[in-house]
Structure 1
Amino acid sequence: MTLSLTAQDKNTLRTAAYGAVSLIAAADATGSPHKIATHGSIALASATGPVGHVLAEKSKIAGLDGKTVAELADHVLPALTAAMNLLREQDPAQAETFRSTVGIALDAGVGARKGEPGPALTEMRRKISTALDAA
């Protein structure tokens, strides 16, 4: 099945995926947030298939410039749920691909930091997973 996504749909997917990486990076403000963001973004840009094509498109992603982690989460967590709903309606396999791609990006980001993830990082990962599963 082929995805039929509008420009707004694509923006939702990019906001959700890159926003999840931004949330993880922001939750690790005392560690290496730049490394998390870089490695997570590279993983997203390396995705393949229909989801990979959407994530690779070069466009400004609105809403990822929150001044606080809470402000960013208010925008990104609903986008994650919306992205999963949108993809499940069109192609459940692509929804699972998206979920897996976001998970790999988060793993890549967290893996780039030194030491074990702290409680804030672990909790943010849980919130992201909950948002992905809320669909």
Structure 2
Amino acid sequence: MMQQLTDDERLTLKTGAFGAVFLVSNADPGMFAMIRESIAASDAMADASGLVKEALTTGPLPRLPRESALEVESVVLPALGRAVDILREKSPGDLAVYRDVVLAAAERVARASRGVVPAEAAVIERIRGALAEPA
């Protein structure tokens, strides 16, 4: 049975998903690239369904630190891990959807401009790791 998410839990899912996109986008910055990347990310997020879609499309946008990529990563990667825990507990059927949507958004963002550069690939691997099931 699927349980409703609290506002905090929805924000955690959103922080992980939007933050992942932000990290990949920042790995290879560029103004025009950013526009293409945000469109690519929106398309991937639109593919979400159920609880994940509701979490990603309602409520406030997450506030991410602006100082450095490391600081953003220190917020985003733990949020992804917590999102996995939340979904495993409350709506296990949505866990794969969340994981797929976040990774698809990250990969689409990386490909949106000039193809995937090594810095983007490295960030995607860290995102993949944060989304992984604990051993």
- Normalised by the shorter chain, which TM-score bucket? 0.7 to 0.9
* Equivalence for 1:119: 118
User: One-letter code of the match for 1:102?
Assistant: V
Deviations 1:70-129 (A, max 9, x none): 110010000000000110112222111110111121122122112x32211110000000
Question: Are the aligned partners of 1:25 and 1:34 in contact in 2 as well (CA < 8 Å)?
Answer: no
Question: Are the aligned partners of 1:20 and 1:102 in contact in 2 as well (CA < 8 Å)?
Answer: yes
Structure 1 residue ranges (4+ consecutive) displaced by more than 6 angstroms after TM superposition: none
* Equivalence for 2:45: 44
Kindly state the Cα deviation for residue 46 of structure 1 after the two structures are TM-superposed. 4.2
TM-score, length-normalised on structure 2?
Answer: 0.88
**How many pairs are equivalent?**
133
TM-score, length-normalised on structure 1?
Answer: 0.88
* Equivalence for 2:22: 22
User: Within 1, Cα distance between the matches of 2:97 and 2:44?
Assistant: 13
User: Within 2, Cα distance between the matches of 1:27 and 1:83?
Assistant: 23
User: Within 2, Cα distance between the matches of 1:4 and 1:58?
Assistant: 14
* Equivalence for 2:96: 96
User: Within 1, Cα distance between the matches of 2:14 and 2:89?
Assistant: 18
RMSD (Å) for aligned C-alpha atoms:
1.8
* Equivalence for 1:59: 60
User: Within 2, Cα distance between the matches of 1:88 and 1:109?
Assistant: 26
User: Within 1, Cα distance between the matches of 2:57 and 2:95?
Assistant: 17
User: Within 1, Cα distance between the matches of 2:45 and 2:5?
Assistant: 18
Q: Which runs of 5+ in 2 are unaligned?
A: none
Kindly state the Cα deviation for residue 43 of structure 1 after the two structures are TM-superposed. 2.1
User: Within 1, Cα distance between the matches of 2:38 and 2:24?
Assistant: 8
* Equivalence for 2:73: 73
Deviations 1:48-87 (A, max 9, x none): 211101111141312x132211110010000000000110
